[in-house]
Amino acid sequence: MATIGFIGLGIMGTPMARHLQDAGHTVVTSKFHIPPRQELIDNGLQFAETPKALAEQVDITILMLPDTPDVKDVLFGENGVSHGLSRGKLVIDMSSISPIETKEFARIVRGTGAEYMDAPVSGGEVGARNASLSIMAGGTSESFERALPLLQLIGKNITLVGDCGDGQVTKVANQIIVALTIEAVSEALVFASKAGANPARVREALMGGFASSRILEVHGERMIKRTFDPGFRISLHQKDLNLALQGAKSLGISLPNTAATQELFHSCAANGEAGLDHSGLVKALERMANHAVA
Pairing label, strands 26-30, 3-7: parallel
Report d(CA 103, CA 68) in Å as an integer: 12
Tell me the CA end-to-end span of the chain in Å, nearest whole number: 50
Report d(CA 91, CA 147) in Å as an integer: 10
Active site residues: 171
Pairing label, strands 60-63, 3-7: parallel
Report d(CA 25, CA 44) in Å as an integer: 10
Report d(CA 133, CA 156) in Å as an integer: 6
Please say whether the beta carbons of 190 and 289 come within 8 A: yes
3-state DSSP call for residue 274? coil
Report long-range pairs for 139-143 (Cβ below 8 Å, ≥24 apart).
139/106, 139/115, 139/163, 139/164, 139/167, 140/115, 142/115, 143/90, 143/115, 143/116, 143/117
What are the strands, taking DSSP E only, across the chain? 3-7, 26-30, 46-48, 60-63, 90-93, 115-118, 121-122, 133-138, 155-162
DSSP-assigned letter for residue 50: S
Q: Give the residues across from 48 on adjacent strands.
A: 30
Q: Which of 137, 121, 156 is nearest to 236 (CA)?
A: 121
